[in-house]
Amino acid sequence: MQVRTLLRLSVAVAVATIVLKLGAWWLTGSVGLLSDALESFVNLAAALFALWMVGIAALPPDAEHPYGHSKAEYFSSAFEGAAIAVAAGAILWTALPRFFDPRPLEQLGWGLALTVLSSALNALLAWRMLAGAREHRSIALEADARHLLTDVWTSAGVVVGVLLVPLTGWLWLDPLVAVAVALHILHAGSRLAWRSIEGLMDTAVEPEVRASIDQALARYADGDVCFDDVATRRAGQRRFVDLHMHVPADWPIGRAAALRDTVESALVSAVPGLYATIQLLPAGVQAHAVAAARSQEPA
Protein backbone atom coordinates (compact mmCIF):
# COMPACT_ATOMS: atom_id res chain seq x y z
CA MET A 1 0.00 0.00 0.00
CA GLN A 2 1.35 3.44 -0.99
CA VAL A 3 2.26 6.14 1.55
CA ARG A 4 -0.50 8.51 0.45
CA THR A 5 -3.13 5.77 0.57
CA LEU A 6 -2.12 4.90 4.14
CA LEU A 7 -2.24 8.55 5.17
CA ARG A 8 -5.71 8.96 3.62
CA LEU A 9 -6.78 5.92 5.62
CA SER A 10 -5.26 7.57 8.71
CA VAL A 11 -7.43 10.65 8.11
CA ALA A 12 -10.57 8.50 7.88
CA VAL A 13 -9.71 6.54 11.04
CA ALA A 14 -8.91 9.78 12.91
CA VAL A 15 -12.36 11.16 12.08
CA ALA A 16 -13.98 7.91 13.23
CA THR A 17 -12.04 7.85 16.52
CA ILE A 18 -12.89 11.48 17.22
CA VAL A 19 -16.59 10.69 16.90
CA LEU A 20 -16.27 7.58 19.10
CA LYS A 21 -14.18 9.26 21.80
CA LEU A 22 -16.29 12.42 21.94
CA GLY A 23 -19.29 10.12 22.31
CA ALA A 24 -17.54 8.38 25.20
CA TRP A 25 -16.84 11.73 26.89
CA TRP A 26 -20.42 12.95 26.33
CA LEU A 27 -21.84 9.80 27.88
CA THR A 28 -19.56 9.74 30.94
CA GLY A 29 -18.51 13.35 31.55
CA SER A 30 -14.95 12.11 32.19
CA VAL A 31 -12.13 14.60 31.57
CA GLY A 32 -9.85 11.59 31.22
CA LEU A 33 -11.86 10.45 28.21
CA LEU A 34 -12.05 14.03 26.96
CA SER A 35 -8.25 14.22 27.03
CA ASP A 36 -8.15 11.05 24.93
CA ALA A 37 -10.55 12.64 22.43
CA LEU A 38 -8.46 15.82 22.20
CA GLU A 39 -5.42 13.76 21.29
CA SER A 40 -7.39 12.27 18.39
CA PHE A 41 -7.81 15.79 16.98
CA VAL A 42 -4.01 15.90 16.87
CA ASN A 43 -4.05 12.61 14.95
CA LEU A 44 -6.37 14.15 12.37
CA ALA A 45 -4.36 17.35 11.98
CA ALA A 46 -1.10 15.40 11.77
CA ALA A 47 -2.44 13.00 9.13
CA LEU A 48 -3.71 15.88 6.97
CA PHE A 49 -0.41 17.76 7.26
CA ALA A 50 1.59 14.58 6.58
CA LEU A 51 -0.48 13.93 3.45
CA TRP A 52 0.36 17.43 2.23
CA MET A 53 4.08 17.11 3.00
CA VAL A 54 4.38 13.66 1.39
CA GLY A 55 2.89 15.14 -1.77
CA ILE A 56 5.53 17.89 -1.75
CA ALA A 57 8.32 15.39 -1.00
CA ALA A 58 7.35 13.37 -4.07
CA LEU A 59 7.87 16.33 -6.43
CA PRO A 60 10.83 15.90 -8.82
CA PRO A 61 13.92 18.13 -8.62
CA ASP A 62 13.63 21.55 -10.22
CA ALA A 63 15.78 24.62 -10.80
CA GLU A 64 15.28 25.92 -7.26
CA HIS A 65 15.51 22.48 -5.61
CA PRO A 66 18.05 20.48 -7.62
CA TYR A 67 18.25 17.80 -4.89
CA GLY A 68 14.49 17.32 -4.77
CA HIS A 69 11.94 18.02 -2.03
CA SER A 70 12.31 14.90 0.12
CA LYS A 71 13.09 16.80 3.33
CA ALA A 72 9.52 18.10 3.37
CA GLU A 73 8.60 14.95 5.31
CA TYR A 74 10.55 16.19 8.32
CA PHE A 75 8.22 19.19 8.60
CA SER A 76 5.38 16.72 9.03
CA SER A 77 6.82 15.12 12.16
CA ALA A 78 7.81 18.57 13.50
CA PHE A 79 4.23 19.79 13.02
CA GLU A 80 2.92 16.68 14.76
CA GLY A 81 5.21 17.33 17.72
CA ALA A 82 3.98 20.93 17.97
CA ALA A 83 0.34 19.86 17.67
CA ILE A 84 0.85 17.38 20.49
CA ALA A 85 2.18 20.17 22.71
CA VAL A 86 -0.95 22.26 22.00
CA ALA A 87 -3.20 19.28 22.77
CA ALA A 88 -1.35 18.65 26.03
CA GLY A 89 -1.90 22.27 27.05
CA ALA A 90 -5.63 21.99 26.28
CA ILE A 91 -5.88 18.79 28.33
CA LEU A 92 -4.18 20.40 31.33
CA TRP A 93 -6.42 23.47 31.04
CA THR A 94 -9.49 21.20 31.14
CA ALA A 95 -8.31 18.74 33.78
CA LEU A 96 -6.74 20.90 36.50
CA PRO A 97 -10.01 22.63 37.60
CA ARG A 98 -11.57 19.17 38.15
CA PHE A 99 -9.24 18.60 41.11
CA PHE A 100 -11.15 21.37 42.91
CA ASP A 101 -14.57 20.48 41.48
CA PRO A 102 -14.70 16.65 41.11
CA ARG A 103 -17.80 15.15 39.48
CA PRO A 104 -19.18 11.61 39.41
CA LEU A 105 -18.95 9.66 36.16
CA GLU A 106 -21.97 8.27 34.32
CA GLN A 107 -22.71 5.47 31.82
CA LEU A 108 -19.17 4.11 32.01
CA GLY A 109 -20.04 0.89 30.21
CA TRP A 110 -20.99 2.49 26.90
CA GLY A 111 -18.35 5.18 27.19
CA LEU A 112 -15.49 2.74 27.74
CA ALA A 113 -16.80 0.43 24.99
CA LEU A 114 -16.56 3.28 22.47
CA THR A 115 -13.04 4.09 23.65
CA VAL A 116 -11.88 0.49 23.33
CA LEU A 117 -13.35 0.27 19.80
CA SER A 118 -11.52 3.41 18.72
CA SER A 119 -8.26 2.10 20.21
CA ALA A 120 -8.62 -1.15 18.27
CA LEU A 121 -8.98 0.84 15.02
CA ASN A 122 -5.87 2.87 15.85
CA ALA A 123 -3.84 -0.23 16.73
CA LEU A 124 -4.67 -1.99 13.44
CA LEU A 125 -3.88 1.12 11.41
CA ALA A 126 -0.61 1.79 13.29
CA TRP A 127 0.57 -1.78 12.64
CA ARG A 128 -0.09 -1.41 8.91
CA MET A 129 1.50 2.04 8.75
CA LEU A 130 4.70 0.90 10.47
CA ALA A 131 5.04 -1.86 7.87
CA GLY A 132 4.51 0.75 5.15
CA ALA A 133 7.03 3.11 6.74
CA ARG A 134 9.71 0.40 6.67
CA GLU A 135 8.86 -0.47 3.08
CA HIS A 136 8.90 3.12 1.78
CA ARG A 137 11.41 4.59 4.32
CA SER A 138 8.92 7.36 5.13
CA ILE A 139 9.51 9.32 8.33
CA ALA A 140 6.11 11.04 7.93
CA LEU A 141 4.38 7.67 7.90
CA GLU A 142 6.48 6.37 10.79
CA ALA A 143 5.79 9.48 12.89
CA ASP A 144 2.05 9.15 12.33
CA ALA A 145 2.13 5.43 13.13
CA ARG A 146 4.12 5.88 16.34
CA HIS A 147 1.79 8.63 17.48
CA LEU A 148 -1.16 6.30 16.88
CA LEU A 149 0.55 3.66 19.03
CA THR A 150 1.04 6.30 21.73
CA ASP A 151 -2.68 7.01 21.45
CA VAL A 152 -3.46 3.31 21.92
CA TRP A 153 -1.40 3.09 25.13
CA THR A 154 -2.84 6.39 26.33
CA SER A 155 -6.37 5.09 25.81
CA ALA A 156 -5.52 1.91 27.71
CA GLY A 157 -4.28 3.98 30.66
CA VAL A 158 -7.39 6.17 30.53
CA VAL A 159 -9.69 3.15 30.54
CA VAL A 160 -7.93 1.65 33.57
CA GLY A 161 -7.95 4.98 35.42
CA VAL A 162 -11.61 5.68 34.70
CA LEU A 163 -12.59 2.15 35.79
CA LEU A 164 -10.85 2.73 39.11
CA VAL A 165 -12.97 5.82 39.88
CA PRO A 166 -16.22 3.96 40.75
CA LEU A 167 -14.29 1.09 42.34
CA THR A 168 -12.42 3.34 44.77
CA GLY A 169 -14.75 6.31 44.99
CA TRP A 170 -11.78 8.62 44.37
CA LEU A 171 -13.19 11.18 41.94
CA TRP A 172 -9.81 12.92 41.72
CA LEU A 173 -8.46 9.92 39.79
CA ASP A 174 -10.27 11.13 36.65
CA PRO A 175 -8.42 14.48 36.35
CA LEU A 176 -5.21 12.77 37.47
CA VAL A 177 -5.48 10.39 34.51
CA ALA A 178 -6.00 13.38 32.20
CA VAL A 179 -2.85 15.09 33.54
CA ALA A 180 -0.89 11.85 33.07
CA VAL A 181 -2.11 11.69 29.46
CA ALA A 182 -0.93 15.26 28.86
CA LEU A 183 2.55 14.58 30.23
CA HIS A 184 2.82 11.32 28.29
CA ILE A 185 1.97 12.85 24.92
CA LEU A 186 4.28 15.80 25.63
CA HIS A 187 7.13 13.27 25.89
CA ALA A 188 6.07 11.70 22.59
CA GLY A 189 5.87 15.12 20.93
CA SER A 190 9.38 16.09 22.02
CA ARG A 191 10.76 12.87 20.52
CA LEU A 192 9.04 13.57 17.19
CA ALA A 193 10.41 17.11 17.13
CA TRP A 194 13.94 15.84 17.80
CA ARG A 195 13.63 13.33 14.95
CA SER A 196 12.81 16.22 12.60
CA ILE A 197 15.80 18.25 13.79
CA GLU A 198 18.10 15.29 13.20
CA GLY A 199 16.72 14.80 9.71
CA LEU A 200 17.20 18.42 8.72
CA MET A 201 20.82 18.19 9.92
CA ASP A 202 21.68 15.55 7.27
CA THR A 203 22.05 12.56 9.56
CA ALA A 204 24.09 9.64 8.23
CA VAL A 205 22.23 6.63 6.84
CA GLU A 206 21.21 3.79 9.12
CA PRO A 207 23.99 1.35 10.19
CA GLU A 208 22.51 -1.49 8.15
CA VAL A 209 22.40 0.69 5.03
CA ARG A 210 26.01 1.78 5.57
CA ALA A 211 26.99 -1.88 5.94
CA SER A 212 25.38 -2.66 2.56
CA ILE A 213 27.30 0.21 0.96
CA ASP A 214 30.61 -0.96 2.43
CA GLN A 215 29.99 -4.54 1.28
CA ALA A 216 29.25 -3.39 -2.26
CA LEU A 217 32.45 -1.31 -2.40
CA ALA A 218 34.55 -4.13 -0.93
CA ARG A 219 33.80 -6.27 -3.99
CA TYR A 220 35.70 -3.84 -6.21
CA ALA A 221 38.51 -2.77 -3.89
CA ASP A 222 41.79 -4.50 -4.79
CA GLY A 223 45.42 -3.59 -5.27
CA ASP A 224 44.61 -1.17 -8.10
CA VAL A 225 41.31 0.33 -6.94
CA CYS A 226 40.43 1.79 -3.54
CA PHE A 227 37.70 3.96 -2.05
CA ASP A 228 37.85 6.64 0.62
CA ASP A 229 36.07 9.73 1.98
CA VAL A 230 32.76 7.86 1.97
CA ALA A 231 30.06 10.20 3.30
CA THR A 232 26.36 9.39 3.58
CA ARG A 233 23.20 11.27 4.43
CA ARG A 234 19.48 10.73 4.39
CA ALA A 235 16.68 13.11 3.44
CA GLY A 236 13.20 11.72 3.94
CA GLN A 237 12.84 8.60 1.81
CA ARG A 238 16.10 9.24 -0.08
CA ARG A 239 19.60 8.01 0.75
CA PHE A 240 22.79 9.61 -0.60
CA VAL A 241 26.44 8.54 -0.69
CA ASP A 242 29.46 10.55 -1.89
CA LEU A 243 32.88 8.95 -2.22
CA HIS A 244 36.24 8.98 -4.01
CA MET A 245 37.34 6.09 -6.21
CA HIS A 246 41.10 5.92 -6.76
CA VAL A 247 42.40 4.11 -9.86
CA PRO A 248 45.92 3.79 -11.34
CA ALA A 249 47.03 7.00 -13.06
CA ASP A 250 47.87 5.15 -16.28
CA TRP A 251 44.35 3.77 -16.76
CA PRO A 252 42.49 5.12 -19.83
CA ILE A 253 39.64 7.42 -18.83
CA GLY A 254 37.17 5.10 -20.55
CA ARG A 255 38.21 2.14 -18.41
CA ALA A 256 37.96 4.16 -15.20
CA ALA A 257 34.57 5.58 -16.16
CA ALA A 258 33.24 2.13 -17.02
CA LEU A 259 34.30 0.80 -13.61
CA ARG A 260 32.73 3.79 -11.90
CA ASP A 261 29.42 3.03 -13.66
CA THR A 262 29.67 -0.60 -12.54
CA VAL A 263 30.32 0.40 -8.92
CA GLU A 264 27.42 2.85 -9.02
CA SER A 265 25.09 0.14 -10.31
CA ALA A 266 26.27 -2.21 -7.55
CA LEU A 267 25.55 0.43 -4.90
CA VAL A 268 22.04 1.06 -6.22
CA SER A 269 21.40 -2.69 -6.31
CA ALA A 270 22.57 -3.02 -2.71
CA VAL A 271 20.50 -0.03 -1.53
CA PRO A 272 17.47 0.54 -3.83
CA GLY A 273 16.85 4.21 -4.52
CA LEU A 274 20.35 5.27 -3.40
CA TYR A 275 21.81 8.38 -5.03
CA ALA A 276 25.54 7.80 -5.51
CA THR A 277 28.15 10.41 -6.45
CA ILE A 278 31.57 8.93 -7.24
CA GLN A 279 34.58 11.16 -7.94
CA LEU A 280 37.42 9.59 -9.92
CA LEU A 281 40.96 10.29 -8.71
CA PRO A 282 44.40 8.90 -9.57
CA ALA A 283 45.82 6.56 -6.96
CA GLY A 284 47.51 8.41 -4.10
CA VAL A 285 45.88 11.79 -4.88
CA GLN A 286 43.39 13.53 -2.63
CA ALA A 287 40.71 15.90 -3.88
CA HIS A 288 41.84 19.52 -3.46
CA ALA A 289 38.61 20.59 -1.81
CA VAL A 290 38.81 17.80 0.75
CA ALA A 291 42.45 18.49 1.51
CA ALA A 292 41.75 22.21 1.93
CA ALA A 293 38.80 21.52 4.22
CA ARG A 294 40.84 19.20 6.37
CA SER A 295 43.66 21.69 6.66
CA GLN A 296 41.21 24.15 8.26
CA GLU A 297 39.96 21.71 10.89
CA PRO A 298 41.04 22.49 14.48
CA ALA A 299 43.84 20.33 15.84
Residues 195 and 214 in one domain: no
CATH of the domain at 218: 3.30.70.1350
Last residue of a domain, one of 145, 176, 200: 200
- Nearest CA-CA partner of 227 in 175, 191, 281: 281
Q: What is the pLDDT of residue 294?
A: 46
Residues 91 and 237 in one domain: no
Last residue of a domain, one of 141, 176, 200: 200
CA distance 280 to 260: 8
Looking at the 3D structure of the chain, how many domains does it have? 2
Residues 153 and 79 in one domain: yes
Residues 100 and 233 in one domain: no
**Beta bridge partner(s), residue 240:** 233, 275
Residues 223 and 129 in one domain: no
Residues 126 and 231 in one domain: no
Last residue of a domain, one of 141, 173, 200: 200
CATH of the domain at 172: 1.20.1510.10
Residues 62 and 174 in one domain: yes
CA distance 184 to 189: 9
The boundaries of the domain holding residue 277 are 207-295
Residues 30 and 151 in one domain: yes
Residues 82 and 186 in one domain: yes
- Would strands 238-247 and 226-235 be described as parallel, antiparallel, or unpaired? antiparallel
Residues 73 and 175 in one domain: yes
pLDDT (tens, 9 = 90+) of the chain, 299 residues, equals: 577 788 888 888 888 888 888 888 888 887 777 777 777 777 787 788 878 887 887 788 888 888 777 777 777 767 777 777 777 777 677 677 777 777 666 666 777 788 788 888 888 888 888 888 777 767 667 777 777 777 777 777 777 777 777 777 777 777 787 778 778 777 777 776 776 676 677 788 888 999 999 999 999 998 889 999 999 988 766 788 999 999 998 999 999 999 999 999 999 999 887 889 999 998 877 655 444 554 455 54
- Nearest CA-CA partner of 95 in 154, 180, 7, 189: 180
Task: Write down the number of H helices and E strands in the chain.
Answer: 9, 3
Q: What is the pLDDT of residue 179?
A: 79
Backbone angles phi, psi at 246, to 5 degrees: -95, 130
CA distance 80 to 44: 10
Q: What is the pLDDT of residue 233?
A: 87
Residues 93 and 173 in one domain: yes
Residues 194 and 280 in one domain: no
> 3-state class of 236 per DSSP?
coil
